[in-house]
Amino acid sequence: MTAQAPGQIQAAFRGRVGGFSLDASFSAPATGVTAIFGPSGCGKTTVARCLAGLHYLPGSFCAIDGEIWQDQSSFRKAHQRPVGYVFQEASLFPHLSVRRNLLYGAPRDALAPRACGIGFDEVIDLLGLARLLDRSPRNLSGGERQRVAIGRALLSQPKLLLMDEPLSALDRLTKNEILPFLERLHERLSLPVIYISHDMAEIERLADHLILMQHGHVVAAGPLQVLQSDPSLPLAATREAAISLDAVVEAHDAGYGLLTLRVAGGHLLVPAPAVAAGRRQRLRIAASDVSIARAAPDTSSILNVLPARIVSKSMLGHGEVIVVLALGADGRGAQLLARITLRSWDLLGLAEAMIVFAQIKGVSLVSGTDAAAGQGAGPDLIDTSAGFLDGISLASPEPWPNQNQILYGVRRCSELETSCPHSPLSA
Ligand SMILES: Nc1ncnc2c1ncn2[C@@H]1O[C@H](COP(=O)(O)OP(=O)(O)OP(=O)(O)O)[C@@H](O)[C@H]1O
């Protein structure tokens, strides 16, 4: 990978970081959310740090939307890369108001409407920050603090937003409070986001593309649904195996409280409150909620029984198989997974390429609605009084810079000089 491709994030990072060996290559669209998923210690954060220019691995390559950030002969340092970085902990400046925290990383004209990029008012609106602007970060809930951190990263006018486990320090309720805001960002901004997470439920809700990592390598990269339905990858073999589908709302039956949703290859009925026709909706269908019939049942309480073609069958062990189905009488629609017993497969005489009926017992709507922000004391703040940039040294494995050092490592050193807590800015 050496030539830049517009519209793509291209990365090929190879080398050692301390005792860790990284050999990770992928390309992903330079728009939408690309999630990096893999077990702890597989190198997700190391890849994010390479993208941010915080590790220099000679011989590596990185280009964002046709702009080369690293190749054989060049390396843009962290402060030369337009990257917004959001971490597990919000690490806001405790001595600055929310407004000043937001404006901290922004160019000087951040308050003016922008011809392109993201303006202050838009960020406030998208993240629901209006009523927090004059508050101190000390009095915000964990979820509110993380929304401010995301706003601050967006206002730095990045060309790439890196989110490293942004919700993992939050409890389930607080996560659910923030996820709708992230969905709104995804819907309204074309900014590419690299989203690192351990939590497949977050990824199923937010991501368009997925990069699967293991032991410092990229095992697979591609559209989320394609990787979820690939029986050769570990996702399809897990107990939680599921497919994320993008559907469009067609109608709402108020009498029965049912939404009609169109997906590639068919329609699904889902009990849900009314949603405007034409709205896009992310669905999740678990492999364990899909069974297979040779003929459409005459009588059944299952609402969604759709014709589908059997694409493949793979053994799972413990007497079960995972079947990939493609919806539609022509078998060319969206793919689903069905987890059934090997005995059922044999008794029904199923075979690849056969047209069958997928009986879908459960469909979850995973896109959320706007939530009111909670309030309360957040976790302890990181001490930001340490010398900025101390500890950032390219290709030096130790010590790790703290989060604000990384965050502000993307800004010019002259600006950093004004960033200490005793500068006029901090008044
Ligand atoms: N600067 C460093 N010095 C030494 N080892 C490092 C350094 N950076 C990362 N490592 C090691 O590299 C491996 C990958 O770390 P990394 O943080 O990228 O993994 P991860 O997939 O993000 O893990 P987690 O999901 O637990 O955050 C780990 O074994 C880690 O200890």
Task: Divide the 427 residues of the chain into consecutive groups of 10 and give the mean pLDDT of each group.
Answer: 79 94 96 94 95 94 94 93 89 92 76 63 91 93 92 91 91 86 85 92 93 96 96 91 95 95 96 91 96 90 95 92 96 96 97 97 75 28 25 28 36 32 32
Which residue type, as a one-letter code, is found at position 178? I
Residues 6+ positions from 188 with CB-CB distance below 8 Å? 126
Residue nearest to atom 1 of ligand 1 (CA): 397
Q: Give the DSSP H or E segment for 413.
A: helix 413-416
Residue nearest to atom 24 of ligand 1 (CA): 40
Half-sphere exposure of 415 (CA within 13 A, CB side): 15
Query: What pLDDT score was predicted for residue 229?
Result: 94
Residue nearest to atom 23 of ligand 1 (CA): 41
Q: Can you tell me which residue has the tokens 């990978």?
A: 1
Rounded alpha-carbon distances, angstroms, from residue 250 to 163, 180, 259, 261, 420? 33, 22, 8, 6, 54
Residue 57's CB is within 10 A of a number of other CB atoms, namely 22
Q: Of 401, 292, 300, nearest to 351 (Cα)?
A: 292
- What CA–CA distance (Å, rounded) separates 192 from 208? 11
Query: What pLDDT score was predicted for residue 174?
Result: 86
In this structure, the residues whose C-beta lies within 6 A of any atom of ligand 1 are: 17-20, 38, 40-46, 198, 397-398, 400
Query: What pLDDT score was predicted for residue 416?
Result: 33
What distance in angstroms lies between residue 20's CA and the mean position of ligand 1's atoms?
7
- What CA–CA distance (Å, rounded) separates 38 from 44? 7
What distance in angstroms lies between residue 44's CA and the mean position of ligand 1's atoms?
8
What percent of the chain is helix, strand and coil (3-state, nearest 5)? 25, 30, 45
pTM across the whole model: 0.82
- What CA–CA distance (Å, rounded) separates 392 from 406? 8
> Ligand 1, closest atom to CA 55?
1
Read off the tokens for 39: 């077990």
Query: What pLDDT score was predicted for residue 323?
Result: 97
